[in-house]
Copies of this chain bind each other. A is one copy, B any other.
Amino acid sequence: MPHRDRPTSFVTVDLVILTVRELALNVLVIERGNPPYQGAHALPGGFLEPDEDLDQAARRELAEETGLDGDTLHIEQLRSYGAPDRDPLDRVVTVCYVAFMADLPLPVAGGDARAAHWMPVNELLQDPSRLAFDHHHLLSDAVEHARDLLTHTTLATTFCPTEFTITQLRAVYEIVWGTQLDPSNFRRKVLGVPDFLVPTETKAPDTGGRPAARYRAGIATRLHPPILREPDTGVDASL
Contact = CB atoms under 8 A, between A and B. Distances in A.
A239 B230 CA distance: 23
What are the 3 tightest A-B residue pairs by CB atom distance, in nearest-first order?
Answer: A221-B239, A224-B232, A54-B82
Contacts of A155: 239
Nearest to A232: B224
Chain A interface residue count: which class? 35 or more
B233 A221 contact: no
Interface of A: 2-3, 6-11, 35, 47-54, 57, 74, 77, 79-84, 89-91, 93, 95, 153-155, 193-196, 219-226, 228, 230-239
17 contacts: A8-B8, A8-B10, A52-B84, A54-B82, A77-B79, A79-B79, A80-B95, A93-B93, A153-B239, A155-B239, A193-B234, A195-B234, A195-B235, A196-B234, A222-B232, A222-B234, A224-B233
A195 to B, nearest CB: 5
A80 B77 contact: yes
B234 A84 contact: no
A9 B74 CA distance: 26
- The number of times this chain is found in the oligomer is 2
Contacts of A8: 8-11
A48 B7 contact: yes
Contacts of A230: 224
Contacts of A35: 2
A93 B48 contact: yes
A90 to B, nearest CB: 5
A159 B3 CA distance: 36
Contacts of A91: 50
B53 A84 contact: yes
